[in-house]
Amino acid sequence: MKQLSGLDAAFLYMETPNTYGHVNALAVYQRPSPDFDPYSAVYERFGSLVGHLEPLRRRVVEVPFGLDHPYWVDDPHFDLDFHVRQIGLAPPGAADQLAEQVARIIGRPMDRSRPLWEVYVIEGLGDGRWAMLTKTHHATIDGAAGVIMLKLMTDESADAPWPYEPVAWKGEELPTDRELLKRSINHLVSNPVKGARLSLRILRNFAESAGLNSLGELATKSRELITSTAGRSEQANAVSDQVKRVTMPLTAAPATPWNKSVGPDRRFAMRSESLANIKRLKDATGGTVNDVVMAICAGALREYLLHHDALPDEPLRAMVPVSVRTGLEEDPWTNRVSSIIAELPTNCADPLERVARCREAMNAAKLQLDLVPADAIMEATDITSPVIATAAVRLMARLSDRITLPINVVISNVPGPREDLYFAGAKLDHYTPVSTITNGIGLNITVHSYGDQLDFGLVSDRELVPDLWDLADLHIDEVTRLFKASGAEWAVPQGPAAGRRGAMKPVVAKKTAAKKSAAKKAAPKQAAPKQTAPKQTSTKKVAAKKAAKRSTSKR
């Protein structure tokens, strides 16, 4: 039994009926032989790992009334059949059919009475390959821990022996409410002390980031900053420049179509690009791979908003998750992540200038971690009341249509393994991230590198971004635009997108129109019936008949 850290628990508190805290990954594998059975291979491999990996067997136990952070407990009723599932795509098994199934799966909350993970074996892909979707709650792992788990699940060669044999383990008896409340009282008593220490630490970090060696120098440095406005202190100018660069954006970001409250349903779209091509652009522009990725996202978002006549005059803002793992953590299965907020130069028309501006924005945003280091943020979440945290999330959900948050979109770039990986002999071709969205931020773009490629995974609210595939395609178009602007030579020719069936509504409408046209042509032509004009009786004849009648009656 182990208590969740405040940061891990925060991903539970963030959940509402329409927002979910799980993160996902879609892996596409080759089929090593015609008789290969993906489901049995996945079932066997995950089953053998349950005793080795805590995240696979532990479930959440919540403290009564939300008075303290929940606890992890080894599930006494663990059921592997519940966690490993199998589905199939209908023909033709196109890329958008796969994405639609993924969107439906991630649009469902997880069962907190069980370990917070699910695995879906997806067969029926049109090219003969198979896919595996892993769905894991963010309370269990972050992006970097996901890469660790990926490497544990896979091998570096097709014929590598599987090193993990099943080990016996026993679930724990679930604690009573009385036991949980007793633990919570002891924990809460220590929080005021932790809070005071944390406040002093954050104040010290702010002071040091501004060049203060001690808090006693605060008044002196303040006078120097004032003097710098008149150009009388070179040292104060340097401090002032640093303070200007280090900003924590708190004002509302410009409005976009997806910065509203989200519904329960999702869309997912994916595209891939050669990592070698991205590196060519890196060399040509003088940036980093991450700078180029950010510029690609900025250019794609700009084009998308232009198409919808919704491009703001101001640059958009992106929240960029940052891993703070050192590799020395005793427990790898916990979140070690922070975030920075960077401007996206969507208001800039020149693609090369966008790369330069992304580099400047990311360098400035990284200094935010100097103001409030990641471990200080993690300590803050540890001492935050779960009741307050949950209430804050619910309040933001209610206000998300009335106010705009300081950020527009989440963009994450996760470095993955460079070597080829295999799952029970099946070669991994693509590893596409499938992240999460929240109220007020209905779009997430996550990029994952594997081998010599970058896989872009886009997740959105189903109604706020109905043409998500168009946005995914615009990312690849932006790569082409950067090559043309920079004059760089392609390392790998850009290949066609994976086959997509496309929306069925126009297909059905086209089929219906074709059937009607065919039926009209096939119908035999019938002669129009002759219409006989009614006999017209002249006025004189009518008058003569009437006169003859009268004459006869008189006789």
Q: Which residues are catalytic?
A: 138
Contact yes or no for 430/232 (Cβ under 8 A): no
Contact yes or no for 242/210 (Cβ under 8 A): yes
SS3 226: helix
Give the type of residue at 476.
Answer: I
Contact yes or no for 22/106 (Cβ under 8 A): yes
For residue 220, give the nearest of 230, 233, 204 by alpha carbon.
233
> Rounded to an integer, what distance in angstroms lies between the CA atom of residue 151 and that of residue 196?
41
> Rounded to an integer, what distance in angstroms lies between the CA atom of residue 131 and that of residue 416?
18
Gap between the terminal Cα atoms of the chain? 128
Residue 65 zone, left/alpha/beta (φ > 0; ψ -120 to 50; rest): left
Q: In angstroms, what CA-CA distances link 273 with 427, 472, 473?
A: 19, 11, 11
For residue 220, give the nearest of 206, 230, 210 by alpha carbon.
210
**Residue 386 preceded by cis peptide, ω within 30:** no
Give the type of residue at 353.
Answer: E
Place of tokens 């049109």: 126
Number of other CB atoms surrounding residue 14 within 10 Å: 21
> Rounded to an integer, what distance in angstroms lies between the CA atom of residue 264 and that of residue 462?
8
| Residue 268 C-alpha from the chain's centroid | 8
The strand pairing partners of 445, in sequence order, are: 411, 458
Long-range CB contact pairs, 307-315, < 8 A, 24+: 307/470, 308/257, 310/256, 310/257, 311/346, 311/347, 312/254, 312/255, 312/256, 312/346, 312/347, 313/254, 313/347, 314/254, 314/347, 315/254, 315/343, 315/344, 315/345, 315/346, 315/347, 315/348
Q: What is the largest CA-CA distance in the chain?
A: 144
Pair of tokens at residue 251: 């004002």
The strand pairing partners of 87, in sequence order, are: 122
| Residue 444 C-alpha from the chain's centroid | 4
The strand pairing partners of 449, in sequence order, are: 454
DSSP string, 418-455: SS--EETTEEEEEEEEE---BTTB-EEEEEEEETTEEE
